[in-house]
Amino acid sequence: MSITTFKELKDAVITQNKTIWELTQEEEGVNSDLPVKEVRAEVLHHIKTMRETIKTGMASTEKSISGWCGDDCDKLIKRYTNNRALFGKLFEKIITYSLATSEENLRMGRIVACPTAGSCGIVPGVLIAYSEEYNLSDDEQINFLITAGKIGSIISNKVQLAGAVAGCQAECGVASAMCAGALAQTMGGDINIILNAVALAMKNLLGLTCDPVCGLVEVPCIKRNPILSIHSVSAVELAMAGIESKIPVDEVIDAMRQTGQLMSPMLKESSLAGLATTKTGLKLKEKLVQQ
């Protein structure tokens, strides 16, 4: 039977004495009629694609059609050539890799949607950076991504993962929650720590709107990716310290769904309010239309 809530997930982990990734790869094997070995091979393929996307993104300064974005990752790389980040090398890699991936998306490059194209930089940024700094094996990286995928899948049972449906909380917000849970698992957290990391990441992004300037997945979408990748790490640090979300994770997702339902359609990818209709936002739109 498919696991559709975090309570069911927790119960299964405890009663079967298995990890999230073990349960998930078995479930996926049954659903896709593939042996677990092939399921894991497919996940590794996605990870290799993430690495290639990061490499390509870091090497390019090609601007988007709008001309607004495309060279920010290059600026970040140049900054870190001579100036170390306040939080160290891992921090540098996470935000650089997240930004590189997001910029590849705007160039129509090859990316892995995690869970969407607009939020594609968060999970890869943390996964690849952490795996490099802590020498994770392929198997450990696969376990990370399978765990992240299951978290996103459970959330999607209640809320469609689309900015047009529930705002950016359902895209970058969910990506941050997926990343937090997967990283907590990788760092040795038990099921309670993992679910607390998910809840802490998600509940602090409730209400995040989708208000892209001129309807493009550029402003503010691209820069949300590196910022919310660090947000996910913050949630993990809190959870690993034993700090708990007072609201259980399933109820946090219920709140996210309700928030999305109450959110004005003008703030759900329509570009009819928020940043999209600021004075500068409208000027950028007018200039783009005239090109």
More confident of the two residues 2 and 262 = 262
**1 lies in a domain?**
no
- In this structure, how many other beta carbons lie within 10 angstroms of the beta carbon of residue 82? 6
| Tokens of residue 271, six digits | 């570009």
Residue-wise pLDDT for 228-281, tens only, equals 999 999 999 999 999 999 999 999 999 999 999 999 999 999 999 999 999 999
Q: Is residue 151 part of a domain?
A: yes
Question: SS3 of 268, please?
Answer: strand
Residue 235 inside a domain? The answer is yes
Calculate mean pLDDT across residues 77-85: 94
Range of the domain at 169: 6-290
Q: How far is CA 208 from CA 75, 177, 263, in A?
A: 27, 13, 10
pLDDT in tens, 159-186: 999 999 999 999 999 999 999 999 999 9
Q: Is the pLDDT of residue 1 over 80?
A: no
Statement: residue 2 has pLDDT above 90: no
What local confidence, expressed as pLDDT, does residue 164 receive? 97
Q: Would you give the DSSP letter of residue 109?
A: -
Residue 75 CB coordination number (10 Å): 11
Give yes or no for residue 101 having a pLDDT over 80: yes
The residue-averaged pLDDT of 72-83 equals: 96
Question: Residues 59-77: what's their mean pLDDT?
Answer: 95
CA distances to 122, 140, 263 from 188, rounded to whole Å, are 20, 11, 37
Gap between the Cα atoms of 260 and 57, Å rounded: 32
Residue 10 counted as domain residue: yes
Q: Is the pLDDT of residue 200 over 80?
A: yes
Residue tagged 């239309």 (tokens): 289
Domain count along the chain? 1
Give Cβ neighbours of residue 117 (< 8 Å, ≥ 6 apart): 105, 111, 217
Query: Integer distance in angstroms from the first to the last C-alpha of the chain?
Result: 54
